[in-house]
């Protein structure tokens, strides 16, 4: 079975999507439509902006979504997923790719999500850190013992976990994790504590937008970050999407479940190859590829 996977924030690069825009009329049409929906020229930033401009959450999230979704549309009939999954933001790209959301609604939700997250970040100094070389259980235990808010946020692959929370709590946790034998515990250049309780204001804001959006019947199941299992029911997909902002991204567990359910090939749709690397560490026998036109 073929699993199509969609990357999240961090995969962006200047020039992303330009080849699609220049070589495919469908892509050009959708990029121009996106500029209209967003009310600014995101293509200018994607194609020839600075890395600094592209790094702003309100730009990064729609940019990665557009690259992934437009690539899936340009693939046409050769895009035949048996299952899909997306890492964090990538879950929205996956839901447009499998027909649950329209292109327009998906983009509006991603834009609202990005702005809501940006706002939540500004309310309290917060950050994230990558922890390498420790068992998940050890990381969970240390986070639970630290005063203040610090939680596991991304289960990326065995031995690679991202924690998220208040700046002081994350710093204390990093020291304790190093003492416990972590190979590295390093702060990430992000503007806030994504996938932690500190995203509650953003979750509430996004919940209203999601509830007001029409979700259709997907062409194939999505393995969601919150549940890690195959979901095809529109109401359930909505509920999990709302929970996602304050809950951890269980990528390791999702990939393991997809393999168990018959996934043999994982095709990454969008910028970069980060997810392919993670899949290989989770399931060394799985085949991986980048979607290409």
Kind and range of the H or E run holding 185: strand 184-187
Residues sharing a CB contact under 8 Å with residue 78, sequence separation 6 or more, in sequence order: none
Residues in a beta bridge with 131: 161, 185
| Cβ-contact 129, 162 below 8 angstroms | yes
156: three-class secondary structure by DSSP: strand
What is residue 183's three-state secondary structure? coil
Report the relative pairing of strands 230-231 and 2-6 from DSSP bridges: unpaired
Residue 88 is a catalytic residue? yes
For tokens 């194939």, the residue is 220
Residue 195 among the catalytic residues: yes
Look at residue 227 and give its three-state secondary structure: coil
Contact 247, 195 (CB under 8 A): yes
Catalytic member of 88, 126, 164, 283: 88
Residues 6+ apart with CB under 8 A from 86: 5, 6, 7, 8, 92, 93, 94, 95, 222, 225
Q: Is 207 exposed, middle or buried (0-12, 13-18, 19+ CB in 10 A)?
A: middle
Given 24, 126, 195, 283, which residue is catalytic? 195
Give the integer Cα–Cα distance in Å for 5 and 22. Answer: 24
Neighbours of 190 (CB within 10 A): 18
In this structure, the dihedral spanned by the alpha carbons of residues 239, 205, 164 and 38, taken in order and rounded to 10 degrees, is 100
Q: Which amino acids are annotated catalytic? A: 88, 195
């Amino acid at each position: 079975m073929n699993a199509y996977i969609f990357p999240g924030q961090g995969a962006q690069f200047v020039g992303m999507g330009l080849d699609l825009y220049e070589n495919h009329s469908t892509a050009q049409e959708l990029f121009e439509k996106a500029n209209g929906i967003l009310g600014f020229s995101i293509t200018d930033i994607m194609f020839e902006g600075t890395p600094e401009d592209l790094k702003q959450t309100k730009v990064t999230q729609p940019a990665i979504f557009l690259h992934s979704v437009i690539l899936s549309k340009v693939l046409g009939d050769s895009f035949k997923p048996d299952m899909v999954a997306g890492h964090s933001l990538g879950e929205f790209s996956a839901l447009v790719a499998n027909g649950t959301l329209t292109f327009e609604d998906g983009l509006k939700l991603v834009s609202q999500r990005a702005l809501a997250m940006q706002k939540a970040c500004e309310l309290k100094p917060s950050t994230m850190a990558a922890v390498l070389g420790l068992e998940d259980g050890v990381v969970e235990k240390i986070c639970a013992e630290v005063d203040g808010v610090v939680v596991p946020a991304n289960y990326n692959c065995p031995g690679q976990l991202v924690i998220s929370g208040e700046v002081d709590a994350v710093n204390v946790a990093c020291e304790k994790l190093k003492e416990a034998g972590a190979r590295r515990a390093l702060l990430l250049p992000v503007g806030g504590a994504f996938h932690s309780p500190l995203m509650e204001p953003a979750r509430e804001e996004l919940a209203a937008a999601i509830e007001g959006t029409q979700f259709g019947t997907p062409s194939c199941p999505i393995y969601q970050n919150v549940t890690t299992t195959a979901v095809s029911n529109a109401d359930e997909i909505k509920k999990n999407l709302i929970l996602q902002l304050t809950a951890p991204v269980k990528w390791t567990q999702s990939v393991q479940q997809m393999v168990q359910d018959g996934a043999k090939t994982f095709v990454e749709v969008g910028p970069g190859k980060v997810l392919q690397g993670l899949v290989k560490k989770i399931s060394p026998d799985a085949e991986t590829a980048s979607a290409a036109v």
